[in-house]
Each structure stands twice: as structure tokens, then as C-alpha cells.
Amino acid sequence: MQPVRFGLIGYGSWGSHHARAIAGASGAELVALAACSEASRAAAQALYPQTKTHADYRDLLRRDDIDVVDVVLPSDLHFEVGMAALEAGKHLLMEKPLALRADLCRQLCARAKTRGRLLAVGFELRLSELWGKVKEMLADGAVGEPLYALIELWRRPYRLGSQAWRYDIDRVGSWVLEEPVHFFDLARWYFADVGDPISVYACANSRQPGRPELQDNFTAVVQFPRGAYAVIAQTLAAFEHHQTVKITGTRGALWAQWHGALDRDERPSFSLKHFDGKQVAEVPLKEPAGEIFELEREIAMIVRCVRDGSAPAASGQDGTWAVALCEAAHESIRSGGSASVEALRLR
């Protein structure tokens, strides 16, 4: 069977992990990559001598030997490059956020539909042995109807990114679009059987007096139907990388946690506990958890989707919802009140 042929656009810190995952995936081939830096292209060529390199992503998109384009670029470039990839007739895997605004996300979704192309968003937590097991147990009724969730991240400050783009608010859009966007997606995914989000109340602050737009500390409450709600909390003013999910329901509770020195720790510690209303049990996990492992599963998923036409773990609509919830959080921070997401509904 012919491999699914990938073109990678972006070869920075995270892009290099994408290249490794594609090159190592069964049924995938890293045909070409594009990177604006000569040093990045040289580094990629040394590791993947059979892969063609381009300085301009448009040259990559002109190739007729690429099935899927994987975009791993600063967030402000997502819409432009994603739209160009779809126009070129390629399937698209887009790193989060799908775009900086929900209206731009909707345009990408519409173009993917008219072109008959796959559009997947890099919410790799959905493919995690740990965070995915939480979803599986919720679907099996492990806590009854979920009523409350806490999704919390305690971590060191963000990496600067190429040319410090992650600290340029015009390029990053907002820090809520960096990591909390994952957690808005998790909350909506975990509460899917309860219904769509109704409103968001959020607050945030910065530890840098001269950079109030860089919100190191962020908390949001997402209201769902029937009184259910999720609390999303993040601080970037701490150390190491520690993520926790706690969920309670009408007849049980789940507690998942992941700990590493860094977000890409190859030897993290993690666990999942289930309370059935009477006793607590450790839930066995068969595979390692962490974003570098989840990325490998993400690439394998894209190969399957292209071959059999199945839906990705996170669709363009999921990516749009997550960005819309981030927008609602920003509106809440600006106004000081709760922001309704009724106007953001996508169905």
C-alpha cells in the first residue's frame, strides 16, 4: 500500500518533533518540508536526507507528491497557510489554534468542505492514554452524569519561539490561545453528553507590570446545561509542568494527573484514580502519556483518516469551538462579567 505522503511546514522546536513522528510512523512518508531558516533546513536535511526542503511554503504546496500538509507555524500564520494548503487540494493537519479568530476558523472549515479535504486540529490530548482514558470512562458512566470538572496546569513560562513570536501579542493572539485552548476543548469533549457550553466567566492577570496583555495567570468557569460546569486554571509563573483533571458526577469521581520536568518530558509520572462512590481504585494505563507520545498517535490517526475517510479526533468544528470559547473568555475578562456563547454556536 502506498504511504500517505506528508509535507511539513515549520521546523522549529515543535515542528522537529512532528518531523520525527511522521518519519517514524507506519504508512507515512515525510516527502518535503518548508522552513524559512537556512539553519533549520540544513538541520532537517541532515536528519532526513531523502526529504526535500523548501525555503518558501508555496513551493511545497505546488508539489503533486504530497497528500497531507502538516502546519506547525506561529499562530498568526495559520489562516494564511492553512487556506493555501486547502486551495492546493491537500488534506490539512493544523496545530492549535486553528486560527486566531473563530470567523477565520469557520472560513477554513468551509473551504475544507468545498474542496472535499480532511481538516484536523492538533488537540493531541484527545489521543492520550491518560486524558483519553478519562473520556472513555466518562462515556462508560464511571461517574454517572458529570457535574463538575477542574482542569488545571501549573508550569514554567512559555518558550520564546522563533523571533520571540510567542511574546508578541499580535502574533500569538493571546496566551489563552496557547494552552488554555486545549483545556477548553477538553472540557467540551468531556461534557459532550451534557450539551454545548452556555457561558464563560474568566479572569486573568500578569506578573509583568509593563506587559498586562501577557496573562500568566488565567482562570475560567465554563457553564454547561443542567448546572454542570468546568473550571479551567493555568499559571505560567511557576516551575516544571504539572497537569491535573478532576471530575465529579452523580455517582463517582475521577482524578488524573501528569507530572514532568518539562512539557515534553520523555519519562513523566502520571496516574488515574476512580472513585465509584464506595472505594478508590487505581486505573491501569498501558502506554506512556505525554505530548510527544500523543503526537505519534496523532500522525498515525491522520494516516488512517486519509486512507479510510474516517473522522479525525479533533475536527475543524472542534477547533472553531475552542477558539470561540477563548474569545468568550477574553470578552469576560474585558467586561468583568459572564460572556454568553449563544452567538458562537456552530450548529
Which pLDDT tens digit goes with each residue over 172-203?
999 999 999 999 999 999 999 999 999 999 99
What is the DSSP track for 38-85? HHHHHHHHHH-TTSEEESSHHHHHT-SS-SEEEE---GGGHHHHHHHH
Average pLDDT score over residue span 4-11: 98
Give the CATH number for residue 170.
3.30.360.10
Residues 328 and 203 occupy one common structural domain: yes
Distance of alpha carbon 271 from alpha carbon 257, whole angstroms:
6
pLDDT higher than 50, residue 213: yes
pLDDT at 235 (0 to 100): 98
Same domain assignment for residues 161 and 73: no
pLDDT (0 to 100) of residue 232: 98
Return the C-alpha cell found at 157: 513560562
pLDDT digits (tens, 9 = 90+) for 67-80: 999 999 999 999 99
State the CATH number of the domain containing residue 299. Answer: 3.40.50.720
Is there a single domain that holds both residue 330 and residue 184? yes
Task: Provide the residue range defining the domain that includes 23.
Answer: 4-124+295-314
- For residue 239, pLDDT over 50 is answered with yes
Per-residue DSSP letters for 104-121? HHHHHHHHHHHHT--EEE
Condensed to tens digits (0 to 9), the pLDDT of residues 253-279 reads: 999 999 999 999 999 999 999 999 999
Mean pLDDT of the chain: 96
Specify whether 12 is located in the same domain as 97: yes
Tally the domains of the chain.
2
Angle value at C-alpha 172, between 169 and 178, nearest 5 degrees: 125
Residues 151 and 274 in one domain: yes
Same domain assignment for residues 225 and 85: no
Shared domain check, 189 and 87: no
Q: Are residues 141 and 266 in the same domain?
A: yes
Cis-peptide, bond into residue 284, ω within 30° of zero: no
Q: Are 16 and 80 within one domain?
A: yes
Same domain for 282 and 149, yes or no, is yes
Residue 341 has pLDDT above 90, yes or no: no
Strands 91-94 and 68-71: parallel
The pLDDT of 74-95, averaged and rounded, is 98
Q: What percent of the chain has pLDDT over 70?
A: 98
Same domain, 8 and 109: yes
Q: Does residue 1 register a pLDDT over 90?
A: no
CA–CA separation, 152 vs 231, rounded Å? 8
Say if residue 134 is in the same domain as residue 116.
no
pTM value is: 0.96
Counting Cα atoms < 13 Å in the Cβ hemisphere of 113 gives: 9
Alpha helices, DSSP H only, in the chain? 13-24, 38-47, 57-61, 78-87, 102-115, 131-139, 169-172, 180-190, 291-308, 316-335
